[in-house]
Structure 1
Amino acid sequence: MKTKILLIEDNPDVRENTAELLELSGYEVDTAQNGKEGVNKAQKNHYDLIICDIMMPELDGYGVLHILSKNPETAHIPFIFLTAKAEKEEIRKGLSLGADDYLTKPFTETDLLNTIELRLKRKQQFAAHANPTAESLNNLYHKAKTLLDIKELSEHKKNKHYGEKQEIFNEGEKAHFVYFINKGKVKITKIDEYGKELILEILYPGDFFGYLSIVNGEHYLENAVALEETELVLIPKQDFLTFLLKDRDLSSSFIKMICRESVEKEKKLLEFAYSPVIERTANTLLKLAEKNPVISFSREELAEMVGTAKESLIRTLSQLKKDNAIEVEGKDIFIKDLQKLKSYASLK
């Protein structure tokens, strides 16, 4: 399958010439003549990379990047700005908003193709950061040590063990570390105005957490608790921030992770407030099944994830089982009919 590129450019000559060059180089190209059209296309289609002019009618390049970076479906797409020589002072602004690279007009064929190839290669390399393994974590530290020239950076890593149901941190506590899960499971929760615990997500080996709090301010925004015997790697706040500031590619990767995480948690809280119990239950089961086809949690834990009473959850599971959407064996739940369960998840 060809790599698909979206080119957003209001100048017809630049747009046509660039598109022709990319097509001759083996890329599939879709074009948009202004920012508004570009956003609509990016949200409706799949693209491997976006090239976007800065100064355009309807919606400028900054607006395009801002909108797409807030959408989890488009936030991960490599984004290259096209800029005129007179706009060089704006380059820093674009990169700070999350752009991956820029090309100054007029650019050569070699510059264009090399930049695209580099960004696509970087995308593959940094895809591991969205769901890292212990090996990729060690690679991050090795790269950090090379980039930052910090002596004995690897010794700053602290491994810590937590028992079942042991608190890792609480909302409002000062944020000192970013955490990486080596073994075990962790739940991230919020307490609502009535004192009820709401589970926002369950994290597994290979997941990072706590970085949203580090970037947003000095205190943790949620609660974290080990669901079973868990081993975590604790990354000091300053090491993490320094690393991001020194490595623009990794910084961009984490910024996109943060955007995606923020949107998902906002959506989860809105579901708690407005969605029917059966819709929330179906969404929760689908999300958990992405990690493990055997959904094995106590009914109390599932009720907290769904944001309902245990009795209501049990009645809802019985309804889904009766409709052959799921199978239940003890505390284990299996998805029997994926499409049927998805239909419950999309109720309005």
Structure 2
Amino acid sequence: MNKKILIIEDNDAIRENIVEILGMANYDVCEADNGKIGVEMALKYLPDIILCDVMMPELDGYGVLHMLNKYVETSTIPFIFLTAKADHNDLRKGMEMGADDYLTKPFDDMELLNAIDVRLRKKAHTELQQHNKNNDFNALLSKTNGLAEFAKLIEGHRNREFRKNQIIYYEADVGRGLYLVVKGRVKTIKLSQDGRELMTGMYSAGDYLGVNAMFSNNPYADTATAIEDSKICMIPSEEMEKVLNLYPDVARKFIHLLSCDNQDKEEQLLQLAYNSVRKKMAGAILRLYHQQTSNNDRVSITREDLAAMSCMAIETVSRTLSDFKNEKLIDRQGTIITIMDLERLSKMKN
């Protein structure tokens, strides 16, 4: 099925040229000559991607993006601005509102097609990754014999209690087995040469620690610490080996979980390397929000841990959180961050 693209552009010649190019590229194209009609068509046709001019009568491009962000069904559609201006402040305003990209007029055919292709592929990857992440743990405990035996193995082990800030294992320790977080939250960190912490992972109930070490037969690559009172189930390596050898379905599921975890870490490293301070902070808060098991808008984390998670200085964390609070994206009382506008925060990190 061909991808649907909505073009919102008041200049007839430019709009017709874009429609012709995309039609030849086998996209299904719909068009609007002003912002108000564009919003109506986006809600009606739910396109896969939207290209929108910035300067238009009736409703400009910023207004179109603002309106579409209000609706759940259109808030995640990739959005590319078309503009004759390349002013830094205008670009920043659009990106902070949630635009995914900018094309500066005049642009050639390949610039247009490449920008669309990149955004469509990124959207497809994100949707697949989120689908896998939501379903993998439930699939791991499905009704197949091997997975049922693995569930019994977990039930047969006593849970060990760890107090807040207690070390579960240290970096370079010999891997003794697999850890399952039964209750609470755990962070994993690596120390840089100058002593700063980089948080490599945050884990909550149902998550596994030490999967890489178990499969590679190497020492742990980071240090795991309870960030609140937690219960942990440790499954010794020799028992895990027996289960993996006897039941290929268990092995396949763990390999899949490991692959997804590595993809998540790669994405996190790219964000830390290239994203702005605001995007990194939005991404860190949203990761905490999506990892929690309770259904509320509050997350709990210290400034120090948030700095380690987003690879920023503590002073930068404080300043950015204050900016977010002033913009009514969040509220903050001590270590408690309350998300006030999830939609805007989600748009900001993309």
TM-score by length of 1: 0.57
Q: 1:299 to 1:244 in 2, by over 3 A?
A: same
Tell me which residue corresponds to 2:15. Answer: none
Report the 3-state secondary structure (helix = DSSP H, G, I; strand = E; otherwise coil) of the residue aligned with 2:159: strand
The SS at the match of 1:233 is strand
Given that residues 76 and 256 in structure 1 are in contact (C-alpha distance below 8 angstroms), is that contact kept between their aligned partners in structure 2?
A: no
> Cα distance 1:269–1:192, how it changes in 2: closer, same or farther (>3 A)?
farther
- Closer/same/farther in 2, CA of residues 191 and 268 from structure 1, 3 Å limit: farther
Q: Aligned equivalents of 2:310 and 2:123: distance in 1?
A: 31
Q: Distance in 2 between matches of 1:337 and 1:281?
A: 14
Report 1:9-28 matches (<5 A): none
Q: Report whether the alignment pairs 1:310 with 2:320.
A: no
Counterpart in 2 of 1:143?
149
| Superposition deviation, residue 178 in structure 1 | 0.2
* 2:275 matches 1:275: yes
Residues 140 and 128 (structure 1 numbering): CA distance in 2 closer, same or farther, change over 3 Å?
Answer: farther
The verdict on how the C-alpha distance between 1:159 and 1:331 changes in structure 2, with shifts beyond 3 A counting, is closer
Contact 1:157/1:236 (<8 A) preserved: no
Listed as ranges, the matches of 1:199-238 within 5 Å are 199-238=199-238
Alignment partners' CA distance in 1, 2:300 and 2:270: 25
Instruction: Give the aligned partner of residue 243 of structure 1.
Output: 243
Change (3 A) 1:275 1:45: closer
- Secondary structure of 1:199's aligned partner: strand
Query: Contact conserved, 2:176 with 2:236, CA < 8 A, in 1?
Result: yes
Q: 2:160 and 2:275 mapped to 1: Cα distance?
A: 38
**Structure 2 Cα separation of the partners of residues 44 and 273 of structure 1:** 18
C-alpha offsets along residues 260-304 of structure 1, whole Å, 9 cap, x if unaligned? 101112222333333222111000111111134211112222222
Supply the distance in 2 between the matched residues of 1:140 and 1:294 (Cα, whole angstroms).
37
Check whether the contact 1:141–1:154 (CA below 8 A) recurs between aligned residues: no
Structure 1 position 323 matched with structure 2 position 327? yes
- Per-residue Cα deviation, 1:136-177 (whole angstroms, up to 9, x for no partner): 8xx97851499xxxxxx6797353222221111122111011
Give the count of matched residue pairs. Answer: 227
User: Superposition pairs for residues 110-149 of structure 1, below 5 Å?
Assistant: 127-129=137-139, 143-144=149-150
Partner of residue 181, structure 1: 181
Tell me what 1:340 maps to. Answer: 344
Matched, 1:284 2:284: yes
Query: CA separation of 1:255/1:288 partners in 2, compared to 1, >3 Å: closer, same or farther?
Result: same
Task: Sort the Cα spacing of 1:244 and 1:77 in 2 relative to 1 into closer, same or farther, 3 A.
Answer: farther
Residue 235 of structure 1 and its aligned partner are, at CA, apart by 0.2
- SS of the residue corresponding to residue 324 of structure 1 reads coil
Using a 3 Å threshold, how does the CA distance of structure 1 residues 219 and 74 change in structure 2: closer, same or farther?
same
Taking a change above 3 Å as real, the CA distance of residues 344 and 244 of structure 1, as seen in their structure-2 partners, is same
Structure 2 partner of 1:12? none
Maintained 8 Å contact 1:183/1:231: yes
Aligned equivalents of 1:180 and 1:233: distance in 2? 5
Counterpart AA for 2:309: M
Post-superposition shift, 1:127?
A: 4.6
| Matches of 1:341 and 1:287, distance apart in 2 | 11
Matches within 5 A, 1:59-78: 74=128
CA apart distance, 1:338: 2.0
**TM norm structure 2:** 0.56
Q: Which residue matches 1:196?
A: 196
Determine helix, strand or coil for the equivalent of 2:338.
strand
Point out where structure 2 has 5 or more consecutive residues left out of the alignment: 1-117
Question: How far has the Cα of 1:316 moved from its partner?
Answer: 0.4
Whether the aligned pair in 2 keeps the contact of 1:43 and 1:73 (CA below 8 Å) is no
Opposite residue 294 of structure 1, the aligned amino acid is R
Match of 1:97 in 2: none
Contact 2:146 2:249 in 1 (8 A): no
Preserved CA contact (<8 Å) 2:284 2:310: yes
Name the residue aligned to 2:301: 297
Question: 5+ residue gaps in structure 1?
Answer: 1-39, 47-70, 79-123, 147-152
Q: Counterparts of 1:212 and 1:194 in 2: how far apart (Å)? A: 26
Matches within 5 A, 1:50-129: 74=128, 127-129=137-139
Q: Secondary structure at the match of 2:288?
A: helix
Q: Which runs of 4+ in 1 moved over 4 A?
A: 42-46, 71-78, 124-127, 139-142, 153-156
